[in-house]
Structure 1
Amino acid sequence: MAPPVLTSVVPNTGPAAGTNPVTLNGSQFTGATAVMFGSAAALSYTVNTPSTITATVPPGTGTVNVTVRTPAGLSNTVAYTYAPTPTLSAIAPNQGPTSGGTSVVLTGTGLTGTTAVTFGSTPATSYTVNSATQITAVAPAGTGAVAVTATTVGGTSGPVFFYYLNAPSLLSVSPAQGPATGGTSVVLTGTGLTGTTAVTFGSTPATSYTVNSATQITAVAPAGTGTVAVTVTGPGGTSNSVTYAYLAAPALTTLSPAQGPTGAGAAVTLTGTGLTTTFAVHFGAAPAAFTVVSDTTAIAIAPAGPAGPVLVSVTTSGGTSNSLAYQRVAPPAI
């Protein structure tokens, strides 16, 4: 009777803890009296046919020689490798939006041949094994704090934790308008604003911003035109938008009448464009009382001043207008 011949062990790798089943292929297996993994006996084995044995792998480490013994002798050897259990030590970044899509780097050991990366109970959207110590994975959608693990033929790693964050939310921007030249300081109110990484007016970043609290940001509007959507971006994603309007600077075309007494009280009609948001009218450096009639008309009460010309201007949320001359006429000498 010829000794047994061993041709393969399938699979030829497994966890260091053992207990996994393998199939030994070969010939002359009838009457097998032992199946050995190195110096350790298989936990159990069954001779299925003269050419196959099913065995349960014992615990072990490294690469060992598998043999089969029968009354006719000892087989040749076939290698079996115990794969180390993978470990994870870090994940970066460790937070991202609930919508998923965050690319993270997992650091650890024994990651070669990884067969699964999971976030909680959800598989990673995708992953790439860069080396035995590093995996790049894309987080799936999720909520809260979840355990991230990597699985190989050596088993499943211990966890590192990834935190899903809600996107920030905006409630208001105040003031909600300013000059096209930018420079207006605005206060954004909302929730989840801690950790903000960007504030944008349309597609333009804010000139600067300061996160005052989880519910408030102070930002400086950049230059722009028209009405734009203001958003905030943080680790949890991008917020809803609130509206900010850029206003053109006002323009004055006529004063009527264009002259008056040196004393206070003369009503002067200012005609122009962009006057709706007027908050100041000046005759020289002196403020004047005024009423906005429409976007093209305002009526001001000229303040007292010396005889001669004085420049009149208006200031709105869009800036300060050009100036027109108003002539103060001295009363006749008696």
Structure 2
Amino acid sequence: MHFGTKSATITANTATSVTVISPSGSGSVPVTVTTPGGTSNPLLFFYVGAPFKSSLSPVSGATAGGGSVTINGVGMATATAVHFGAATVTPTVVNDGQLTATVPPGTGPGPVSVSVTTAGGTNNGLTYAYVDAPTITALAPASGPASGGTAVTVTGTNLATTQSVIFGATAAPFTVISDTSVVVVSPPTADGAGGPAHVTVTTSGGTAVAGFTYLNAPGI
């Protein structure tokens, strides 16, 4: 049996089938079977190169998994598996240059390698970071005027990947100081009146909520 000009190793055959190990090659080649009775008509066999991955988005997410990631690259049309460390999921192939996958749960916070398996092989080179859900242990101060402008220090855990801080329904400007501290400036209330508001911190690992009190301006 030949793949183009190269002979293939036959591992089993019957009157109606032949099992072989394909030789090395590239592109498409004609496959023929030769018996004492002659040589068959050719059928095409396609060699598929190993995939190349260029980017992963997002690059981090909750340790519990469940988020969706997009992998861009080349040669991924035949992808059958995406590996996050030791965990494997089945991807959705968008086209030869892109696929999506649902992130499996992680064994704990930290980075894992991401590899894609196709008919052409497996290729590594990307990293995904699992992030534990944030917690908020304190807001300092925990109150401020309804007009906003209060610099509030949010203390907690797993805050390094903070993506947004919301006071009630209003996004607030913030600066990540460390994994345990974020400084945010309270926005004004929508109606100018005081009252309680939820402060929601969203990170790659999830969300955490604490309470803040807006104070009314004094009247005379």
The separation in 1 between residues aligned to 2:56 and 2:171, in whole angstroms, is 29
Structure 1: stretches of 5+ with no match in the other structure: 1-116
Equivalent residue for 1:136? 19
Give the AA of the match of 2:156. G
Q: How far apart are residue 280 of structure 1 and its match?
A: 1.0
Residue 173 of structure 2 aligns to a residue whose secondary structure is: strand
Aligned counterpart in structure 2 of residue 169 of structure 1, from 46, 52, 65? 52
Equivalent residue for 1:331? 217
The separation in 2 between residues aligned to 1:210 and 1:142, in whole angstroms, is 25
Equivalent residue for 2:28? 145
The separation in 2 between residues aligned to 1:156 and 1:145, in whole angstroms, is 19
Structure 2 contact 27–47 (Cα < 8 Å) conserved: yes
TM-score normalised by length of structure 1: 0.58
Equivalent residue for 1:159? 42
Aligned-residue identity in percent: 47
Aligned counterpart in structure 2 of residue 215 of structure 1, from 85, 97, 101? 97
* 1:308 aligns to 2:195 (yes or no): yes
Give the AA of the match of 1:120. G
- 1:257-268 correspondence runs (5 A): 257-268=141-152
Q: Deviations over 1:267-310 (max 9, x none)?
A: 11111122122121122222222111122111111123343332
Q: Deviations over 1:221-261 (max 9, x none)?
A: 23324322222222222233311111111111111112222
Q: How far apart are residue 326 of structure 1 and its match?
A: 1.8
Give the AA of the match of 1:278. T
- 1:1-334 correspondence runs (5 A): 117-130=1-14, 132-206=15-89, 209-211=92-94, 213-224=95-106, 225=108, 226-305=110-189, 306-321=193-208, 323-334=209-220
Change (3 A) 1:231 1:272: same
Structure 1 contact 280–288 (Cα < 8 Å) conserved: yes
Q: How far apart are residue 156 of structure 1 and its match?
A: 4.1
TM-score normalised by length of structure 2: 0.84
The separation in 2 between residues aligned to 1:266 and 1:222, in whole angstroms, is 40
Which structure carries more relative contact order (alpha carbon 8 Å, separation 6+)? 2
Structure 2 contact 80–91 (Cα < 8 Å) conserved: no
Residue 223 of structure 1 aligns to a residue whose secondary structure is: coil
Structure 2 contact 196–213 (Cα < 8 Å) conserved: yes
Q: Deviations over 1:163-182 (max 9, x none)?
A: 21112111111221122233
Decide which moves more: 302-311 or 189-198. 302-311
The separation in 2 between residues aligned to 1:252 and 1:232, in whole angstroms, is 37
- CA-based RMSD of the aligned residues comes to 2.3
Q: How far apart are residue 200 of structure 1 and its match?
A: 3.1
Structure 2 contact 163–203 (Cα < 8 Å) conserved: yes
Change (3 A) 1:333 1:158: closer
Give the AA of the match of 1:328. Y
Change (3 A) 1:162 1:302: same
Give the AA of the match of 1:285. A
Q: How far apart are residue 155 of structure 1 and its match?
A: 4.4
The separation in 1 between residues aligned to 2:36 and 2:73, in whole angstroms, is 48
Structure 1 contact 119–146 (Cα < 8 Å) conserved: yes
Give the AA of the match of 1:277. T
Q: Deviations over 1:68-114 (max 9, x none)?
A: xxxxxxxxxxxxxxxxxxxxxxxxxxxxxxxxxxxxxxxxxxxxxxx
The separation in 2 between residues aligned to 1:163 and 1:207, in whole angstroms, is 23
Moved over 6 A (4+): none
Decide which moves more: 248-257 or 220-229. 220-229
Structure 1 contact 252–313 (Cα < 8 Å) conserved: no
Residue 243 of structure 1 aligns to a residue whose secondary structure is: strand
Larger radius of gyration: 1
Residue 241 of structure 1 aligns to a residue whose secondary structure is: strand
